[in-house]
């Protein structure tokens, strides 16, 4: 099969590999489209090795057609269209996927749109709604509002009744976030999000922050949280280390948590998938939610897709098509 190989130094090129064989609880998928995500870039740079047993081929989400079953009866059929969360292997003509992490395409979705869902939707549901416990009527701040995670978090938080704040770096990105449902968008290049949040909440702060920046944002986030607020870390673009004053954590009874999705067990991710099918997939079926796709590239142009991701100029998802 054709796939994208990662050479020493982080160069991407087209290569050939044998077809992977599905295990007893897996299926083989003929890939039609694959999502490009920040962890792919970090892995290409040599800073995020795949977990034990995962493919070294990049790619954490795909959409395509089931073409072989690893077990006699798994609830999926040959020829069935699915979108799937992977631990790796998506930048290829074929990949294997755990059966519980294969979800049906939402109503009216083609493969390109469906491939934009798993990594971001699983991540947002787990961190914003399970770990962050966001509820209707609460206030929510997401940093990196124009990213794939950010655009998904804005839409989902708004759909479930939250007041949504987002930070971005340009007016074009701010306008996109407003269109997707953000109530207050803050340009971090010109405004202090801590002050804006205080002004917009009459000094109360927000109930939940989803942070993918880290570094000096961590201490500022504590200032922006309300009493009993929750802080969820999912990435560290500014670095994982910071000096924190934990007195506000005690005085405001804050909760600090975080997660990474990829190393979690299939059973843990299957539990997320079950809740997505019950609570979120109906919103994609009826059009209340929709992925924000910025650009698509043929698989052979994966290097261009990574250049776009690293430039930071995109809004929403980047997709590879086959």
Shared domain check, 205 and 106: no
User: pLDDT tens digits, residue range 171-185?
Assistant: 999 999 999 999 999
Q: Has residue 169 got a pLDDT over 80?
A: yes
Determine the pLDDT at residue 74. 81
Shared domain check, 184 and 112: no
The predicted model scores a pTM of: 0.96
| pLDDT confidence band for 71 (50 / 70 / 90) | confident
Determine the pLDDT at residue 8. 87
User: pLDDT tens digits, residue range 109-143?
Assistant: 999 999 999 999 999 999 999 999 999 999 999 99
Q: Which of 120, 64, 138, 10 is nearest to 320 (CA)?
A: 64
What lies within 8 Å, CB to CB, of 181 at 6+ separation is 154, 155, 157, 158, 159, 164
Question: What CATH number corresponds to the domain at position 70?
Answer: 3.90.180.10
Shared domain check, 267 and 159: no
Q: Has residue 73 got a pLDDT over 70?
A: no
Determine the pLDDT at residue 111. 98
Portion of the chain with pLDDT greater than 70, in percent: 99
Q: What is the extent of the structural domain holding 232?
A: 121-258
Shared domain check, 169 and 127: yes
CA 248 vs CA 106, 134, 205, 307: distances in Å: 43, 21, 13, 40
Shared domain check, 7 and 88: yes
Shared domain check, 287 and 249: no
Shared domain check, 242 and 149: yes
Beta strand 61-69 with 81-85: parallel, antiparallel or unpaired? Answer: antiparallel
Q: Has residue 166 got a pLDDT over 90?
A: yes
The angle that helices 217-224 and 193-200 make with each other, rounded to 10 degrees, is: 10
Shared domain check, 184 and 133: yes
In angstroms, the CA 226 to CA 249 distance is: 10
Shared domain check, 93 and 220: no
Shared domain check, 160 and 272: no
Overall domain count for the chain: 2
Residue count of the chain: 322
Q: Has residue 224 got a pLDDT over 90?
A: yes
Portion of the chain with pLDDT greater than 90, in percent: 97
Tell which of 233, 258, 283 closes a domain: 258
Tell which of 258, 287, 302 closes a domain: 258
Question: What CATH number corresponds to the domain at position 240?
Answer: 3.40.50.720
Determine the pLDDT at residue 247. 95
């Amino acid at each position: 099969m054709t796939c994208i190989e990662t050479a020493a130094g982080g160069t991407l090129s087209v290569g050939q590999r044998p077809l992977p064989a599905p295990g007893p609880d897996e299926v083989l998928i003929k890939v039609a489209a694959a999502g490009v995500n920040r962890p792919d870039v970090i892995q290409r740079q040599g800073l995020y090795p795949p977990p034990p047993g995962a493919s070294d081929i990049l790619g954490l989400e795909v959409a395509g057609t089931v073409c072989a079953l690893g077990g006699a009866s798994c609830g999926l059929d040959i020829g069935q269209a699915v979108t799937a969360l992977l631990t790796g292997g998506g930048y290829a003509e074929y990949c294997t996927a755990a059966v519980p992490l294969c979800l049906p395409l939402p109503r009216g979705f083609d493969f390109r749109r469906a491939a934009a869902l798993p990594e971001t939707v699983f991540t947002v549901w787990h961190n914003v709604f399970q770990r962050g416990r966001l509820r209707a009527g609460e206030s929510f701040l997401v940093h990196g509002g124009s990213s794939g995670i950010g655009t998904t978090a804005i839409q989902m938080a708004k759909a479930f009744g939250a007041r949504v704040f987002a930070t971005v770096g340009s007016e074009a990105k701010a306008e996109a976030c407003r269109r997707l449902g953000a109530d207050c968008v803050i340009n971090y290049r010109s405004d202090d999000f801590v002050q804006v949040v205080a002004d917009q909440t009459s000094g109360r702060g927000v109930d939940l922050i989803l942070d993918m920046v880290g570094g000096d944002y961590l201490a500022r986030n504590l200032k922006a949280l309300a009493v009993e607020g929750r802080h969820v870390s999912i990435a560290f673009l500014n670095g994982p280390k910071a000096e924190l004053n934990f007195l506000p954590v005690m005085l405001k009874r804050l909760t600090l948590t975080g997660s990474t999705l990829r190393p979690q067990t299939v059973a843990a991710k299957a539990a997320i998938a079950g809740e997505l099918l019950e609570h979120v997939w109906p919103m994609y079926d009826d059009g209340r939610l929709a992925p924000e796709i910025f650009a698509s590239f043929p698989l052979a142009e994966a290097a261009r897709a990574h250049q776009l991701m690293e430039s930071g100029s995109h809004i929403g998802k980047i997709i590879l098509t086959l």
